[in-house]
Amino acid sequence: MTGAPDGRWIEVGDGVLARRHIELDLTTGLVLGAERALVVDTRGDDQQGAELAEAIRAVTALPLTVVITHAHFDHCFGTAAFLPCPVYAHPRCRAALVATAGAQRAEWATYYRDRGDPGTAAALAATDPPLPDHRVDREVSLDLGGRTVRLQHPGRGHTDHDVVVHVPDAAVVFAGDLVEQGAPPDLGDAVVADWPATLDALLALQPAVVVPGHGDPVDPAFVRAQRADLAEVAALHAAVAAGRIDTATAARRSPYPNLLWAAVDRGGR
């Protein structure tokens, strides 16, 4: 068994569901076609993935396809519960998983142990995330039966391999962590200079609803505001890199002062 359910469904379009999780305020997705269903992200360990798979099986018995928005553990370490099925991601997502899964597992298992959650720490420590086996270089169209969805890499931003899911007939975009509601965007692995233009590409899809990787679904105005904040951060990074201002000044001016410097310390990406 998979323990207590962690999540509730929100219908964001006809046959387009977002699932809100308590853990990390994560948001996953489910797009229903007539013949297949698409799962957007798989949660953070084998147990969480099993919980999500069970919740999805309560909604649909259709064959599943999985798409992973990016390689951070909370979005993709739960994939095993869905296999065998096609698992789509950007090729750099696969590479990032190969390179970082062990380090992510160690870092976050420690986080959960320190937080007094040995159960989640143990589940994570026991999880070896399956690798994606289908690639999204720029765009892949998936026919779910009566509905086509597009998996797209709109550019670099939260990571160098973000993939979004566009459901054109419902005007919904699942954005992964390119958009965050309820907390500032996470800049730790970000390509800050590219992020605003990547959000422009996302907005050009003309979504009515954007489902973030964490937090509640938002509208395009929310995304435009986050884009403006990220453009400020990108400009501050550039100013620091060019030696025009120091990091303390940039931090004071940043919309996200506590988060600014992780990315700069990684070489100003």
Rounded to 5 degrees, what are φ and ψ at 30?
Answer: -145, 125
**Nearest approach, Cβ of residue 14 and Zn ion (Å):** 28
Q: Which stretch binds Zn ion (CB under 5 A): 19-27, 65-73, 104-112, 250-258?
A: 65-73
Nearest approach, Cβ of residue 184 and Zn ion (Å): 12
- Closer residue to Zn ion, CB minimum distance, 32 or 210: 210
Binding residues for Zn ion, total number by CB under 5 A: 2
The least distance separating Zn ion from the CB of residue 110, rounded to whole angstroms, comes to 18
b/e per residue, 169-186, with b = 16+ CB within 10 A? ebbbbbbbbbbbbeebbb
Q: Give the three-class secondary structure for 202.
A: helix
Q: What is the DSSP letter of 203?
A: H
Residue 166 binds Zn ion (CB under 5 A): no
Give the span between the Cα atoms of 175 and 224, in whole angstroms: 13
Rounded CA separation 116/94 (Å): 31
Least Å from the CB of residue 215 to Zn ion: 12
CB of 24 to Zn ion, least distance (A): 10
Interacting residues with Zn ion between 172 and 201 (CB under 5 A): 177
Q: How many CB atoms lie within 10 A of CB 57?
A: 11
Residue 223 CA from chain centroid, whole number: 15
**Angstrom distances, CA of residue 81 to CA of 2, 28, 46, 128, 130:** 11, 15, 7, 12, 10
State which residue, 19 or 72, has the beta carbon closest to Zn ion. 72
Question: Binding to Zn ion (CB under 5 A): which residues in 123-162?
Answer: none
Given the rule CB under 5 A, which of 12-20, 45-53, 55-63, 69-77 is the region that contacts Zn ion? 69-77
In the set 19, 21, 43, 72, which binds Zn ion (CB under 5 A)? 72
> Which residues of this chain interact with Zn ion, rule CB under 5 A?
72, 177
